[in-house]
Amino acid sequence: MDVSPLIWWLTIGIASAVLLFDVLVIGRRPHEPSRRELIVALSVYIGLAILFGIGVFVFSGPKYGTEFFAGWLTEYSLSVDNLFIFIIIMSKFAVPRQYQQKALLIGIILALVFRGIFIAVGAAAIENFSWVFYLFGAFLIYTAVKLALEGGEDEDEYEEPAVVKFLERHIPLTSQWTSAKMFIRENGKRVATPMFVVICALGTTDLLFALDSIPAIYGLTKEPYLVLTANIFALMGLRQLYFLIGGLLERLVYLSYGLAVLLGFIGLKLVFHALHENELPFINGGHHVEWAPEVSIEVSLSVIVGILAITTILSLLKSRSMSAKERDDATGPRSM
């Protein structure tokens, strides 16, 4: 895929402009967004992602267009899972609702920065070391097994990152939520606010999330431009999604299992690709492994859509069944 430097800079510039607009609007008027505001913004972001994917189809061909949609859906589904942790962080630090938008926005900006770094490093590694696909694949399979074993049992648990614990012990902090600022003056001294700690927690969490998401999308496309744009579009609507479907997230009881299957599939795809392109001397004498299949991007997209659809349907059916059982338990047995 031939992407000129002009297109790269235009993409980065437009994404930066959108984020800057958000920063200025939210910074001037911190508030809890209305449902209408959320639906309109989320519809715009999703619509833009779909239009961009269609544009890739038209100008670069079906292969790259399919790779974009596969990558975008994968990154979006992983981002939805990340919202569980965001909700727990907001709850743990008792972030007032009117300040949560700013915290999420800064967290998303940090996520884009971290992922941009990982994308560049990943592209350089893939360009120079074909065996890196073995590492990506093995890591995703390990993550998939870990997710499957944990299931949804630990969603309410959150252990503060070491960075946050260090900050809480070594810098002056105020425990009062007086504003959305990260630093204020208190008794003549400059102190950090809870907002600063929350931003550090979100940033550290975003860094860990990037370790999963970037290898996953490189299993679907090797084009850095598509990797970057898929991540941008997945993160752009994350803030609105947080407020819009906070209650719905609790109903996606099988999400972790679905993501485990998704990451496991992409991990195996990466390993098969590594075998097919093998150059390691201790594997098949440094020759390509002919029996290793190459999973097409069309098959990958179909599998991703199927996994997400089945996971969502089964989760909602299970949630409905659990709600009905809770209502029956609350009302007690009916008299004859």
Which pLDDT score is estimated for 332? 58
pLDDT tens-digit map of 66-98? 999 999 988 888 877 677 777 777 777 778 877
Residue 306: partners with Cβ closer than 8 Å, 6 or more residues away = none
pTM of the entire predicted model: 0.76
pLDDT tens-digit map of 250-309? 667 787 888 888 888 888 888 888 887 777 787 877 777 777 788 888 888 888 889 888
Residue among 53, 34, 82 nearest 201 (CA): 82
Q: Which two tokens stand for residue 2?
A: 């031939």
d(CA 283, CA 220): 24
pLDDT tens-digit map of 134-186? 888 888 888 888 878 876 554 555 566 676 777 777 777 777 777 777 777 77
Name residue 173's beta-bridge partners: 192
pLDDT tens-digit map of 219-243? 888 888 999 899 888 887 777 777 7
d(CA 130, CA 104): 36
Residue 46's CB: how many other CB atoms inside 10 A? 17
